[in-house]
Amino acid sequence: MTQTSHNPSILIVDDESDICYLLSNILKQKSIQSVFATSLSEANDIMEHESGFSFIFLDNNLPDGQGLDHIQQIKKKCPQCKIIMVTAQDDKAARDKASKEGADFFIGKPFSSKLILKTINCSVT
């Protein structure tokens, strides 16, 4: 993955490949580079080899754990990145825990491309 100085690089962590492709295509429309992982362990491997992510889209229910339980660990590996929880588990308890653990944003599924782009401060045309 290449990163340009004016475009953020984004890691998408979701076990549903359709969601990964959807998010990737939304971002590609704004020329934003992204890569994706379908598990926490795959995301960790990517973070070991790639640095400089601006944002991480993180699902909660992953095959090898809960995204909410790994926010602090991810922040230690990637302190400059903003974590955006994107999950179908959209209730007050999940939102409160995400905030307490250090997530920067919380988006419930289903989501709109406009909301995704707004969240990362892109102009929506």
**Amino acid, res. 44:** N
In angstroms, the Cα distances linking 43 to 6, 15, 64, 104 are 24, 11, 11, 18
Structure confidence by residue, pLDDT tens digits, 55-95: 999 999 999 999 999 999 999 998 999 999 999 999 999 99
- For 56, list phi and psi in degrees, rounded to 5: -130, 120
Structure confidence by residue, pLDDT tens digits, 8-58: 599 999 999 999 999 999 999 999 999 999 999 999 999 998 878 999 999
Residue with structure tokens 């590996």? 77
Judged against a pLDDT cut of 60, whether residue 117 lies above it is answered with yes
Give just the sign of the alpha carbon dihedral 82, 109, 72, 52. negative
**Closest to 78 measured CA to CA, from 107, 108, 58, 100:** 58
Judged against a pLDDT cut of 70, whether residue 6 lies above it is answered with no
- How much is the pLDDT for 123? 39
pTM: 0.89
Domains of the chain: 9-119 (3.40.50.2300)
User: CB within 8 A of 68, min separation 6: which ones?
Assistant: 60, 85, 94, 97, 98, 101, 103
